[in-house]
Structure 1
Amino acid sequence: MKTWFHSWRAAVRIARRDAWRFKGRSFLVLAMIALPILGVSAADLTLRSAELSAQEQADRRLGTADARVSDPRYGGVAVDQSPDGEIDQPVGDYEDKPYPEGRTDVTKVFPAGATVLTDTRGHGKLRTKYGLLHTEIRELKASDPMAGGIMTLLDGRFPEKNDEVAATSHFLETSGLSVGSTLSARGLEREYRIVGSYELPDDLKTDQVNALPGAFLAPLGKALEAAGLPGTDASTTHLLKLKGAGAEGFTWNMVKAANAKGAVVVSRAVLLDPPARSEVPLYQREGWSGYTNSEGVERAALIATATVVGLAMLEICLLAGPAFAVGARRSRRQLGLVGANGGDRRHIRSIVLAGGLVIGFAAAVAGTVLGLVLTFALQPWLEETMGQRFGAFDVRPLELLGIGALAVLTGLLAAIVPAVTASRETVLASLTGRRGVRRSNRVLPVIGLVATLLGGAIALYGSVLSDQFLIVAGGSALAELGIVAMTPMLVGLFGRTGRWLPLSPRLALRDAVRNRGRTAPAVAAVLAAVAGTVAVATYGVSRDAQSRAEYVAQLPHGAASVMITAEGGRDVPAVRETVQKYLPVDVRADVDRIAVGRTSCDLWEDGKGCGRYEVVVPKANECPLWARTTDGSDPRERFSKEQLRKLSTDWRCKADDRYFISEGGLVIGDANVLKVLGIDDPGAEKALASGTFVSFSRAQVDKDGKVSVRLITDLKAADLAMEKGADPPGAVKSFPAYRAPDGTEAYGVKGILPPAAAKAAGLTTVPLGSFYATDRMPSSEQRQKLDFELAAVGTDLTFHLEEGYLSENGIVLLALTVFAGLITVGAAGIATGLAQADAEADLKTLAAVGAPPRVRRTLSGFQCGVVACMGVLLGSAAGVLPAIGLRLTERRQAERMHQEALDGGFGGFDGLPHIPIVIPWETLGALLIAVPLGAALLAALLTRSRGAVARRAAT
């Protein structure tokens, strides 16, 4: 044991001295290993610091209170809840009866003597420096000790009077206001003064203002109700502090007792000490999944993580291995002296492996320390980016040690092959500097060939006969590993092309073939990076072509629309003028909608006095697959599979892929709508001019050529009638209609009702929005100004500018190409630098026989270009095949799903799938031509024409 320890200590000392002697090579390998360690350690620190403990979660949710009680609005029905209170469901089966709803009195679950603090939240539109901002309004006495920890005061103080508020820092930044400014809400005359700034540790990006209980939401709600506008939608929870210092807190049994009375409780005691899963009634319900990651998902995530880590280690070993090999060759004399003084092969292996151990340990220390420093320095930025404060700077030594051990392991793995190779050299060869002749390994290429053929067969089976992605991916990965194993043999085959090349590239190619120990790993590293890039690029371009074919334009190219369904279109006139101001508008078409009941209702609001309308589809035009049934059953059950397939192609069952914001696609407008939509139909223009309804939907026009609109005022009666398969009650207005020719592209608009016809029928209308035709696409500056102005309006609106299909793959493909290029240039540069260090004697021989100085630069460039070219060629071929296999698999899956949809009567929603396979020629061209050429030129420019004068070798 003592001998083993001393021999390894000596090996480590020799390796440490050698690493310090050749600082450039050592720093290169150290950086390659340390950079991933830096990233992983920083990610570990960030995730662990952002992960809150149970105590920290309780403080942020409850302050110093013992519990928070809330009303789930099930009308007092008993509930089951999760221990953290995030999930709750009413007890009982409500499949055949109405789902419970309504408020309940949660004060009946308060323990005797408990101190109560109310926390009410609502929403309102607050006036800012730029306009209106939809903001959360919170009424909580934040200065109360019980609320400590829920909000963090940054500046000023919390409100103490009814006319004071505090605001989150994000709200102040967004609104342009500051501490000391006055604040008011839309619909409320009263003004409030901002006296403080705070943040919510769990949500730093929330726009929220804080007021005393009853000071803001109640007056605002009354003002909005008086104006006929939607309310604040306020909800109240209660913070409880139990009586008695020795109280155990709100126990799980107390939580279940509160659940029986219809209340949901978040308890500090339960958060800190959750009950067993068997004690939670919610988890015992039939079919309960727990909304947690299944074991299969966690296993898949673990496999994916292990795969990524394994590939990263393989890439590092491929790039670092040749550096250790060259280092061992440059230390041949030193290793030979070890053998001459009694050292055996085991000692020589230990010295080379100690080099990997030393650099791996240094990389582990450097990467971990830099990760700690970087994470600590970037903590404020990370918190802002993630939108929440860290609980604590959580350093877990065991995890960091494990990450550091990964670096040491990588260094050792990279040094294994050079260590074995160095130990096989004889002492005489090491001392004299003779390389000798060694036969290449014939077993590894055979194994690689078998793996390539087997992987290709598996991938072919997965893409042609199976629908499983994993089979194709696994087969492709096996085939790629086989190609990596065959790389030394393939490098030798490339060498046979040297006879047709000029002097410098021929020398570079022969040098690469002769020194496959450093060439093959570099080529394999380039191969792996390029194969992944080409596979992703091929798949991404193919998916992009599919998305382009499936893209459905919402408007003609360059046209725009803005629609507002809230508050009865109150803000529509202002928004119309704003868009007109910033867009190069050629034609503007204003459209209205039908209002049933109060004109201030939102389009889909079910509030008091609000109704809705629907465009009646004649019975003869209804799709049998969608018809209402009196017993509530699925109408598809009445048809056979053959009938379902036939009905799926019926014109009545063709679904519109577009969504239009107005009910039934009906708008009230004039002929300008036709102009903006690009519809050239003189008949439609004439019909609108004469006050006739224009329909673009064949299904909406009855046999008499009319379109009917039903006005529904009693929403509950309408819903009850529809559940029974009957038509909802309501007055029906019929209009003579002009039906546009079939196939007319109306971009989701199914009918245009002239304003005169709507007025004659006694319909009440409110503004909906406008369509705009532009004479050119707006500039980026115009868009930014428009977006800013629309955001300042402070109302919910839908704005769309039709720019056509915009591919996001361009940036992704560019990033992938740059990534692969950097890996290629880096690997080729490493191989070139090692070649220069390894072939210094050959370069001196060339100079001695009269070669000009530029040969050194030219040879260096071609050495780099040869490695890059071989890796890119092999990687491109290896990367295209798995992408094609995955696309073929997707095509089979899509076709199978389409046939199942036809059999189920859903064929009207989508047609035959289009799954193209597209080769990314631009990416391949950049990789095959630009990257090797750039690598060669870069290496040539960075190489000195003349080498340094060398000392005479010691004998």
Structure 2
Amino acid sequence: MSSWRPVLRLARRDARRHLVRTLLAALLIALPVAALAGFVSVSNPGTPTRDRVLATIPEGAQAVVTATAIPRGGAPFQQIPEGAPGPWMDDFETVPTSTEEIAALLAPGVELSEFWHSPPLAASPDLGLEPGEQQSATAGAERLSGTELERLAMVELREAEPAAFQLLAPKAVAGSLPTTPDEVLISQALADRLGVNPGDVLSFTAPPDSGVRSSDGNAAAAMQDSMRGYRISGISEDTSYTAWAPSGWLSTLVAEKPEGVQGHWLVLGDAPVTWEQAKTLNELQAFVVSRHVLQNYPNSDELYPVPLNANAYLEGTVGLVLVLVVGGMLVLFLVTPALAISAEQSRRTLGLAAAAGAKPRDLRRIILAQGLVIGLLGGVIGAVLGLAAALGFGTWLGSIEAESGIQDQRYGFDIAIANFPWWTLVAGVPIAVILGLIAALGPARTAARMSPVDALRDRRPTQSTRRRPLSLISGLSLLAASLLLGTVTLLTPVPEYPSAADAVQFFSPRTPPPGSGPLSMLVGFAVLAAAGGIALTIHALLPRVGRFGARSRPVWRLALRDTADHPSRTVPAVLGVVFSLLAASYFLVLGASSHADTRVTGATLDWQGTFLVTPQVPISPEFDRALAAGVLEELAEGMPEVTGSHSFEAVARDSSVMLEALPPVGRECPAGEIVHASSARELGAPLRCVNQLSGAGFQGGIRIGSPFSIWFEPLLIDSETLLATRIPDAADAAKVLDAAGVLVGDASLIDGDGMVRIAIGPFSEGGASLVLPEREVQLPALLVRGVGVGFIISPDTAHKLGVDQTDFVGLLAETSEPISLRILHSLWQHDVGELAMIQTPDSGDPLGASADPADQAMRWGPTVLLALVAIAAAAISVLLSATQGRRDATTAYAIGADRGVMTRLGLAKAMAILAIGVPVGMGAGIALGTYQVAWNRRLEASGAWLDTVIAWGTQAWIVVAITAFGLLAALLLTRPPRHLTRRSLD
């Protein structure tokens, strides 16, 4: 250790003496560490933390128990201490466990106090009900339809027994808490919306049961067709539309119809709920969030085993290894020039040390110590930047969620700090130190071989050219190996998914098929071989670029000669630009192609300049139409382009017949398989069927209306409404509707004669089809995408086929000219009392899949982050290369070169680095991104990936930004100071 002390002292002195170079090199190491910490934190907020879950247990309660409506007799509800590990499906005929059964499994003397959550309810002070009065919602529907829009809101009502109510209800900032079942406490947001105060009467209306279930199971069925009046006792400080009342209305209705309705209790008393008691309650299909369990967390062997998806684990491991290896290579290529420059700038110091008796290992240690210092500094800076990025980005996303009214927020400062992956910092700093040492190995070996005489005379050692052919051969061999491995992975058959029954039981959707792990590893090796081949090939060929400047202008000739004569600093700088741009271009291709894949495999909204107003929860046809018309009128006040509206309707569930589009006879997919996206996209394409677990299947779905308003295709619209959407080929589609035809989004449904089979029959409660076909007809069809659903028919044709009941879906705004997306997306911020949904078209920009800023940030965060890293890395690489040029500039200035010549020479050197690194990096990134898309297309796990989207415009902007910032950095550092008369770097 004593031999290292003077070495470390010299390293610290060198770091202070060349502070700019040290900070730049440290920043290069810091960028990937910060990117890793920030990206992991934001992309994976993590499971709820103990503190967040503990906050959900009211003070004075020991635990919260939830009884699901999952049938008993099977496996127990395998919870984690934080609660339910994921969503579950309640059975609508199962009655959850009772209060008595739960109490029997807990400690004697505990008290269970029950509480309930309602589905969305319509609230208004103008319905004429007295406090405590209850009647049928059907009888009050006419009054509800005549209510003014600003006196309506959709509300969640929370009821509780007296003991639970005292703990769960928020503090009243005006008035007091309710004391009887006829009183209610409402939020400040609801009071402001409705213009009510304590003492006023407020009525709630439960909508009809639509068949769609909320997180509280079948509560909508228990409450449907019921109204109740309350006296407002107080107002709480709350920004959501929420109300609290003692048990009376909801509790009574659930008691009358308990099937499928979850139960909720607070556990009160002094006795805690242990983990063993929680697991016993799991046998009743109930789970517990216990204060005692969270504060005394069970050992891992006491928890339920977590099933391991070996294929998903392998895929994730391969991806992580790829990221770490490629990221490590990027750091090494960027940090090496700093240490190479340090070795060159310290030649005289090293020569003096050698002349004074220092051994080669001592000279090697001096450079290694510099790598240690730079790595440690970079790791610390990266940790700080990563934490700041994660907290800042998480806080920003949290503010977006708050503005959107999301209740279960996944982001925010407190959530970010609680879920921050501290392991990234613990691992990042040592990794940064190791990278710093590895990056210093080459320059350290060069320093150890330095001749003391040459060093004292400050003369560069003669560069050996013997290894250049070997490097070139090795580089080309690695590139050839990469091409061979890539070809093998794209030609070798991919293992198939197991049979439908086994697949559903043991695998999750969109996971790789079992046995595909080895091929995925070959993909990783192909990428690594390509990266190594690029590095070695550039290392071998870059010293030859000096030949290309023989007949060019003096500035360019000198710049190219400098690039060739100083490979120790120019090769790493070029590689830094190459690999940083490679990563950004690669993820840009991957992200843009992923966006294109979502449009191919699902329904899209390609309306042009219009929007749809849909009731959040249907109440009655008259009310729903009046509500949509009122909201549309309110929204259109600032948009003179809106000139009218068109109605969207759907087949009602209580219609005597339903309609379903069927594939041509003989072109059906087997059970457990679905149509491949390629067959659904083009007419006449061969029929391909894929396992239902694959992500390559076409699943059009329904993109319009709320989950409660349209639950089954087809959509019923006429030709004028279709023309108002301005979707592509709207005119041809309107003609088909007028001719009693149908529009479908799945090309495989259309036969060779341009016809589609339509099954007609009553609603089916189960099975693969939602229709019990009584008869079939064939109708002319046209393939249309972009409407938001996959099956459209005109109302007249639907009625002729036997449809006798329809549901109102919403009103489409008719516009005189297309409204800009910016204005349309701003409609989301309009407060309509949560009464309606405002649906706007998808962005046509391949980088703008959603108007939601949070979704955009998460979708394009990695690409933007890597682009910023690429810009910073390119600029810093050029700066590091330019620092060594200061010495040459001093010499040039001493022999008469003016400042303008020196500035142009510095810029020319930077341009030489960028001119080589930018096209190679962009080309390699696009090539590897294209290969990754091709592999994803073969694997068919995450999507169909039929289109490879390069996004040339964005690629060009990244190139322009990298070039501009690189030249700006060179200009700032290569511009000679006013007094350049001595070689201060010595």
Normalization by structure 2: what TM-score? Answer: 0.70
Match of 1:904 in 2: none
- Matching residue within 424, 429, 452 for 2:454: 429
- Matching residue within 146, 151, 161 for 2:179: 161
User: Are the counterparts in 1 of residues 62 and 272 from structure 2 also a CA contact under 8 Å?
Assistant: no
Secondary structure of 2:22's counterpart equals helix
Match of 2:677 in 1: none
User: Are the counterparts in 1 of residues 556 and 908 from structure 2 also a CA contact under 8 Å?
Assistant: yes
Instruction: Write the deviation string for residues 89-118 of structure 1: whole angstroms up to 9, x where unpaired.
Output: 999xx9xxx996235533243144322222
Match of 1:17 in 2: 13
Specify whether residues 351 and 741 from structure 1 end up closer, same or farther in structure 2 by C-alpha distance, changes over 3 A only: closer
Specify whether residues 176 and 338 from structure 1 end up closer, same or farther in structure 2 by C-alpha distance, changes over 3 A only: farther
Q: State yes or no: 1:515 paired with 2:515.
A: no
Match of 2:438 in 1: 413
- Matching residue within 928, 940, 949 for 1:882: 928
Q: State yes or no: 1:316 paired with 2:369.
A: no
Match of 2:246 in 1: 213
Specify whether residues 947 and 404 from structure 1 end up closer, same or farther in structure 2 by C-alpha distance, changes over 3 A only: same
Q: Which amino acid aligns with 2:346?
A: S
- Matching residue within 84, 87, 90 for 1:86: 84
Q: State yes or no: 1:327 paired with 2:342.
A: yes
User: Are the counterparts in 2 of residues 612 and 711 from structure 1 also a CA contact under 8 Å?
Assistant: no
Q: Which amino acid aligns with 1:490?
A: L
User: Are the counterparts in 2 of residues 179 and 197 from structure 1 also a CA contact under 8 Å?
Assistant: no
Question: 1:53-68 alignment to 2 at 5 Å?
Answer: 57=53, 60-61=56-57, 64-68=60-64
- Matching residue within 365, 378, 383 for 1:350: 365
Q: Unaligned stretches of 5+ in structure 2?
A: 126-148, 206-227, 402-409, 495-518, 675-682, 688-696, 705-709, 851-855
User: Are the counterparts in 2 of residues 141 and 213 from structure 1 also a CA contact under 8 Å?
Assistant: yes
Q: Which amino acid aligns with 2:122?
A: K
User: Are the counterparts in 1 of residues 326 and 528 from structure 2 also a CA contact under 8 Å?
Assistant: no
Specify whether residues 673 and 172 from structure 1 end up closer, same or farther in structure 2 by C-alpha distance, changes over 3 A only: closer
Instruction: Write the deviation string for residues 96-150 of structure 1: whole angstroms up to 9, x where unpaired.
Output: xx99623553324314432222222223234699665444332347986994xx7
Match of 2:625 in 1: 572
Q: Which amino acid aligns with 1:320?
A: V
Secondary structure of 2:3's counterpart equals helix
Tell me how far 1:684 sits from its aligned partner. Answer: 8.9
Match of 1:777 in 2: 818
Specify whether residues 915 and 46 from structure 1 end up closer, same or farther in structure 2 by C-alpha distance, changes over 3 A only: closer
Secondary structure of 2:76's counterpart equals strand
- Greater shift in the superposed pair: 28-37 or 264-273: 264-273
Tell me how far 1:778 sits from its aligned partner. Answer: 1.4
Question: 1:154-303 alignment to 2 at 5 Å?
Answer: 159=177, 161-162=179-180, 184-187=202-205, 188-197=228-237, 207=240, 209=242, 211-214=244-247, 217=250, 235-241=262-268, 249-250=273-274, 252=276, 255-256=279-280, 258=281, 265-266=288-289, 292=307, 294-298=309-313, 300-303=315-318
Alpha-carbon distance between aligned partners in 2 of 1:618 and 1:315, rounded to the nearest angstrom: 53
User: Are the counterparts in 2 of residues 122 and 235 from structure 1 also a CA contact under 8 Å?
Assistant: no
Specify whether residues 647 and 623 from structure 1 end up closer, same or farther in structure 2 by C-alpha distance, changes over 3 A only: farther
Alpha-carbon distance between aligned partners in 2 of 1:311 and 1:394, rounded to the nearest angstrom: 26
- Greater shift in the superposed pair: 113-122 or 718-727: 718-727
How many residues are matched? 848
Specify whether residues 744 and 403 from structure 1 end up closer, same or farther in structure 2 by C-alpha distance, changes over 3 A only: closer
User: Are the counterparts in 1 of residues 183 and 232 from structure 2 also a CA contact under 8 Å?
Assistant: yes
User: Are the counterparts in 2 of residues 525 and 827 from structure 1 also a CA contact under 8 Å?
Assistant: no
Alpha-carbon distance between aligned partners in 1 of 2:523 and 2:463, rounded to the nearest angstrom: 38
Q: Unaligned stretches of 5+ in structure 1?
A: 199-205, 284-289, 595-602, 605-610, 628-632, 638-645, 688-693, 899-912
Tell me how far 1:862 sits from its aligned partner. Answer: 0.3
- Greater shift in the superposed pair: 512-521 or 919-928: 919-928
Alpha-carbon distance between aligned partners in 2 of 1:888 and 1:944, rounded to the nearest angstrom: 47
Specify whether residues 178 and 503 from structure 1 end up closer, same or farther in structure 2 by C-alpha distance, changes over 3 A only: farther
User: Are the counterparts in 1 of residues 648 and 717 from structure 2 also a CA contact under 8 Å?
Assistant: yes
Instruction: Write the deviation string for residues 452-495 of structure 1: whole angstroms up to 9, x where unpaired.
Output: 22222212322344554553443132122122123221212322
Tell me how far 1:854 sits from its aligned partner. Answer: 1.6
Q: State yes or no: 1:462 paired with 2:489.
A: yes
Question: 1:345-744 alignment to 2 at 5 Å?
Answer: 345-368=360-383, 386-387=410-411, 389=414, 400=425, 402-440=427-465, 441-442=467-468, 443-465=470-492, 467=494, 468=519, 470-540=521-591, 557-558=608-609, 561-562=612-613, 566-569=618-621, 570-576=623-629, 578-579=631-632, 582=636, 584-585=641-642, 588-590=645-647, 603-604=652-653, 611-615=654-658, 623=665, 659=702, 661=710, 665=714, 667=716, 678=730, 694-696=740-742, 719=765, 743=782
User: Are the counterparts in 2 of residues 79 and 88 from structure 1 also a CA contact under 8 Å?
Assistant: no
- Matching residue within 966, 970, 984 for 1:939: 970
Instruction: Write the deviation string for residues 722-781 of structure 1: whole angstroms up to 9, x where unpaired.
Output: 9999768xxx9x9xx9x98654969666543459989x9995666454455433111357
- Matching residue within 905, 913, 918 for 1:867: 913
Specify whether residues 327 and 880 from structure 1 end up closer, same or farther in structure 2 by C-alpha distance, changes over 3 A only: same
Tell me how far 1:318 sits from its aligned partner. Answer: 2.2
Match of 2:141 in 1: none
User: Are the counterparts in 2 of residues 120 and 213 from structure 1 also a CA contact under 8 Å?
Assistant: no
Normalization by structure 1: what TM-score? Answer: 0.72
Match of 1:792 in 2: 832
Specify whether residues 221 and 534 from structure 1 end up closer, same or farther in structure 2 by C-alpha distance, changes over 3 A only: same
Alpha-carbon distance between aligned partners in 1 of 2:464 and 2:798, rounded to the nearest angstrom: 95
User: Are the counterparts in 1 of residues 609 and 821 from structure 2 also a CA contact under 8 Å?
Assistant: no
Alpha-carbon distance between aligned partners in 2 of 1:864 and 1:60, rounded to the nearest angstrom: 58
Alpha-carbon distance between aligned partners in 1 of 2:812 and 2:843, rounded to the nearest angstrom: 15
Specify whether residues 182 and 341 from structure 1 end up closer, same or farther in structure 2 by C-alpha distance, changes over 3 A only: farther
Specify whether residues 121 and 403 from structure 1 end up closer, same or farther in structure 2 by C-alpha distance, changes over 3 A only: same
Specify whether residues 155 and 369 from structure 1 end up closer, same or farther in structure 2 by C-alpha distance, changes over 3 A only: farther
Tell me how far 1:394 sits from its aligned partner. Answer: 9.3
User: Are the counterparts in 1 of residues 649 and 809 from structure 2 also a CA contact under 8 Å?
Assistant: yes
Pair member with larger Rg: 1
- Matching residue within 114, 134, 156 for 1:136: 156
Match of 1:839 in 2: 888
User: Are the counterparts in 2 of residues 79 and 89 from structure 1 also a CA contact under 8 Å?
Assistant: no
Percent identity, aligned pairs only, is 20
Match of 2:513 in 1: none
User: Are the counterparts in 2 of residues 35 and 367 from structure 1 also a CA contact under 8 Å?
Assistant: yes
Specify whether residues 498 and 127 from structure 1 end up closer, same or farther in structure 2 by C-alpha distance, changes over 3 A only: farther
Tell me how far 1:858 sits from its aligned partner. Answer: 0.8
User: Are the counterparts in 2 of residues 523 and 870 from structure 1 also a CA contact under 8 Å?
Assistant: yes
Specify whether residues 391 and 408 from structure 1 end up closer, same or farther in structure 2 by C-alpha distance, changes over 3 A only: closer
Instruction: Write the deviation string for residues 359-418 of structure 1: whole angstroms up to 9, x where unpaired.
Output: 333444555567678888999778767447459879999985543323332332232222
Question: RMSD value over aligned CA atoms?
Answer: 5.8
- Greater shift in the superposed pair: 427-436 or 538-547: 538-547
User: Are the counterparts in 1 of residues 559 and 909 from structure 2 also a CA contact under 8 Å?
Assistant: yes
Secondary structure of 1:792's counterpart equals coil
Q: Which amino acid aligns with 1:533?
A: A
Q: Which amino acid aligns with 1:500?
A: R
Tell me how far 1:23 sits from its aligned partner. Answer: 2.1
Q: Which amino acid aligns with 1:436?
A: P
Match of 2:946 in 1: 915
Tell me how far 1:328 sits from its aligned partner. Answer: 2.5
Alpha-carbon distance between aligned partners in 2 of 1:816 and 1:372, rounded to the nearest angstrom: 15
Tell me how far 1:655 sits from its aligned partner. Answer: 10
Tell me how far 1:512 sits from its aligned partner. Answer: 1.2
Match of 1:830 in 2: 879
Match of 2:904 in 1: 858
Tell me how far 1:433 sits from its aligned partner. Answer: 1.3
Tell me how far 1:317 sits from its aligned partner. Answer: 2.9
Instruction: Write the deviation string for residues 560-587 of structure 1: whole angstroms up to 9, x where unpaired.
Output: 5555582232221331354366263456
Specify whether residues 167 and 428 from structure 1 end up closer, same or farther in structure 2 by C-alpha distance, changes over 3 A only: farther
